[in-house]
Every structure is written in structure tokens, then in C-alpha cells.
A and B are shown apart, each in its own frame.
Chain A
Amino acid sequence: MIKVEGLYKSFGSLEVLKGIDCEIQEKEVVCVIGPSGSGKSTFLRCINLLEDITNGSVFIDGVQVNAKETDINEIRKEVGMVFQQFNLFPHMRVLENITIAPIKIRKMDQIEANDLALQLLEKVGLRDKADAYPEQLSGGQMQRVAIARALAMRPKIMLFDEPTSALDPEMVKEVLDVMKQLAEEGMTMVVVTHEMGFAREVGDRVFFMDGGIIVEEGTPEEVYGQPKSARTQDFLSKVL
């Protein structure tokens, strides 16, 4: 479903991604772990072209994302993203946050969009917050709204960029539970995370990144159980 070939990304003279190759299947949950500065987030942001790609290519459903003739907005409709800082629209109520994209981009009518939004809010356990403004919510609630907002476009793939890193510890679980539920429903997910427990439990595969490459990949059992590379062993010994 997602295919990455020889992906390089530089910011000026700083080379952040140094050749990434991978394939992610439909309904697969891939967790990307690794130390800060290893290029995890940049890798994720290259998938929906929030960062333009210096070299190499990303394919989603066989369509090259970074080809000139590709309309990136068409791709992004199918690829939801959840950010570390939530990035909810502060000038809109929760309901409007969720309905704006279906209405403006999918041309859904208002009533249908509201129904959809309320269903999604129900799913993330926040139906009673439809009328609130983002600033009235806790971090965990904001992130769950952000997930609902991304889901409102009915994406085939969801990208999570450290979704729990900005949360107070007691709110991490409520967000992870929603993500877990989503994984169980068969969503294709790429999750950049520091939550080793989540990666282990929910991930079908784990990528360990360091220095702009995928150092090691495999099932959670493989990566956590018998890490092959010394770098992975060292990292895991520090975080587990």
C-alpha cells in the first residue's frame, strides 16, 4: 500500500534521511521507533509530502506521491495525519473542526457531515464535546478530536507523528486506546512513537531508525526480543 524507494531528504546541507526503502501492506500497523533526530518524523512527513522529497520516491496505492503530475491533494484525502501538537483549528468548535474538510474537500452536505462527525466523536468518546472550542479541552481530548478530524476524510492510511509525546502521562492511555481500536478495525497505520508498550502490543512490525536509515525492522517480537544490531540493542536497553 505504501512503498518507499531510496528516500533521501536534506535540509540544506543537513542530510536527514539517507536512503530508506520499505513496503507497508494494507491493514498493517507499523511503529517507527528510534532516538530523537533519527529522522522518524521526517520520514513520516515525506509520505504525505509535508516535506518535499530530495531524492527517491514514495508510492501510495501504486501512485508516485512525488511525481510532477500527481495532485498531492488527492493523495492527502486518503492519508490522514495526526500531529504531536494536535494542530486543531482554534477558531472552530470541535464539530466544525471535524466537518470542515468533508464539507469543503469532499463536498459533503452539512447534515451528513454533522452526522459523520458525531459518529466519530462517539467513537473517540467525546460526543459531549461537539460544541466546545479546542482550548476548552485537555490535551488527550484534543488529540482524540484530531484523530476524529483525520478520520472524517475516510482515509485509507493514518499517519501518527508522536501523537502522545505532548501529553501529560495520565492522558496517554486514552489516546493509545483509540489508536488501538483503530488498528483492530484494520486501519493501515504508520506510527512514530516513543511508546514502546504500544509498539509492542499493537504494531505488526517495528522499524528502528537511527541516523536517517532503518537500522532494523521486524515483528515486535523480533526487534524487542532478539535485536540484531548493536545500535538497536543499545537503544532498547536505554528505553525499556
Chain B
Amino acid sequence: MIWNYKELFITGLWVTLALTAIGYIGGVILGLFLGLGKLSKKKWVYYPCKYYVDFFRGTPLLVQILLIHLALIPSIFGHSLGFFVSGSLALILNCAAYNAEIIRAGIQSIEKGQMEAARSLGMPKREAMKHIILPQAFRRMIPPLGNELIALLKDSSLVNVIAATDLLYAGKVVAGAYARFWEPYITVAILYLLLTWIFTKIIAYVENRYSNSYVPPQRRRVFSFGRTSVGR
């Protein structure tokens, strides 16, 4: 029964993965700017970012999806641009709000002395942020950003309400066709579980990769024995 609909499940997997990937990448980039904005001393930068985050964290994603798909996009373009555009946009905007908080907290967790040391060497604030603060903060952000990725993957199923052909949709179709619920929804659940399991592995790898103790085999070159040129 499930096997007959395997195409649908495969499409669903891809749609879910694509929505998650776009939502997450967009969410991290936008979230970085929002997070930096929330650290700004300039009021006209801080307040818009703050209100943005408050709005998107304070309202249900389901409501945001409907607002964007049925109200925002039609009133800009005159018609719908399909579930994928609306869905991606909603996920980006929502994910960005959560990531902004993670990024803000990560940056704030770096000791004040780091910025002072960088500035005392003559680094402009931007450079100090880029070379000194963000690389350190990023390491601390990896676990919560990883959680956010997994949450987003699961939340992407909400896009189903605007007729997305995602993983959940495949389950619903099968359930509708056979009037059976255990098999299709368990299949959907297992597929989500499989995806989150893979993501967890990737996150663990990234976390390990960016820890100080990680030394890639080819970089085991030592600076100390009179050598002055250093490969990097």
C-alpha cells in the first residue's frame, strides 16, 4: 500500500528537505543581521530588530504561514506564487527570529576582554567582530543552532496547510486513499525520524570539527622547529 505511493513519499522527502534547507540557510543569514542589530546601540537599528523577533517568536508559525500565503503574497503580487515560495518565506522569517536570539546570546557570551584586546590592537569593530568575536561565538552557537535546524525540519510540516506536497502530504494522501491511518502516518514519522537522526549526526560532526582539539591529519605541521613558513 505504502509502496504504491513511493513516488509521493520521495517527492515529499525532497520538498521537506528543500523547505528546511532554504528556511534554515535564509534564517541563519537573516538571523545574523537581526542578532547583530539587537546588539546595536543605535535605537533605529535595535528596535526594528527587536520588534521583528518579538513578532515572529510571539505568534504561531501556522498563523504566519497562512498570513504570508493568503494575505501578504497575494496583496503584493495579486495572486499566489505557490506553496513553495510562501512556505520558504515563512520558514526563513520564522527561523531567523529564533536564530537571531541564539546569535545575539552567543556573541554576548564572549568575554568583554576579547573585544577590548582586539580593539586595543587597532582593529576596527567590524574586523574584531569578524575575526575574534564571531568565530568564538559561532562555536558556542553550534548546539542551539543545531536544535533550531531539527525544530525547523519538523515545523516545516506545518506548510502542509497551504497544500504543500511535503512528506506529511504523502502520508495524508495514502491515508485518504485507503482510509487507514497507522501505516501512512507511522511511515511519515519514521521518515522524519530518519532525517532528524541524519541531521543530528551532521551537527555532532560540525561541533567536533570546530572544537579546538580537532586537528586534521594533514595539518599536523609544527611551527616550532625553526620553520618560518607556515602552511595554512
Spell out A's residues near B (CB within 8 Å).
48, 50, 73-74, 76-77, 79-81, 83, 85, 87-91, 93, 95, 100-101, 104-105, 110-111, 114-115, 118, 127-131, 133, 135, 146, 149-150, 153
Query: Which among B119, B123, B136, B223 has the greatest number of chain A C-beta atoms within 10 A?
Result: B223
Which residues on the A side are within 8 Å of B116 (C-beta)?
A: 50, 83, 87
How far does the Cβ of A93 sit from chain B's closest Cβ, in whole Å?
8
A80 CA to B116 CA, complexed, in Å: 12
Asked whether, in the complex, the Cβ of B117 is within 8 Å of the Cβ of A74, the reply is no
Is B216 at the interface (CB under 8 A from chain A)? no
Asked whether, in the complex, the Cβ of A89 is within 8 Å of the Cβ of B122, the reply is no
Asked whether, in the complex, the Cβ of B230 is within 8 Å of the Cβ of A133, the reply is no
Is B232 at the interface (CB under 8 A from chain A)? yes
Q: Contacts A114-B229, A146-B117 given; 14 further ones with Cβ under 8 A?
A: A80-B120, A80-B121, A81-B120, A91-B136, A91-B139, A93-B223, A95-B230, A105-B121, A105-B123, A110-B232, A111-B228, A111-B229, A129-B224, A149-B121
Which residues on the A side are within 8 Å of B39 (C-beta)?
A: none
Task: Flag B103-139 by CB within 8 Å of A: 1 or 0 each.
Answer: 0000000010110111111111001000110011001
Which residues on the A side are within 8 Å of B232 (C-beta)?
A: 110
A90 CA to B131 CA, complexed, in Å: 12
Asked whether, in the complex, the Cβ of B139 is within 8 Å of the Cβ of A153, the reply is no
Which residues on the B side are within 8 Å of A153 (C-beta)?
A: 121-122
Is B222 at the interface (CB under 8 A from chain A)? yes
| Interface size in chain B (residues, C-beta < 8 A) | 26
Is B212 at the interface (CB under 8 A from chain A)? yes
Asked whether, in the complex, the Cβ of A90 is within 8 Å of the Cβ of B123, the reply is no
CB within 8 Å for A77 and B122 given contacts A91-B135, A133-B212: yes
Which residues on the B side are within 8 Å of A88 (C-beta)?
A: 117
Asked whether, in the complex, the Cβ of B117 is within 8 Å of the Cβ of A83, the reply is yes
Asked whether, in the complex, the Cβ of A100 is within 8 Å of the Cβ of B119, the reply is no
A105 CA to B131 CA, complexed, in Å: 12
How far does the Cβ of B216 sit from chain A's closest Cβ, in whole Å?
14
Which residues on the B side are within 8 Å of A114 (C-beta)?
A: 223, 228-230
Asked whether, in the complex, the Cβ of A85 is within 8 Å of the Cβ of B113, the reply is yes
- Partner pick for B131 among A77, A104, A131, A133, CB 8 A cutoff: A104
CB within 8 Å for A89 and B117 given contacts A73-B124, A105-B122: yes
Asked whether, in the complex, the Cβ of B121 is within 8 Å of the Cβ of A76, the reply is yes
Asked whether, in the complex, the Cβ of B120 is within 8 Å of the Cβ of A89, the reply is no
Asked whether, in the complex, the Cβ of B122 is within 8 Å of the Cβ of A76, the reply is yes
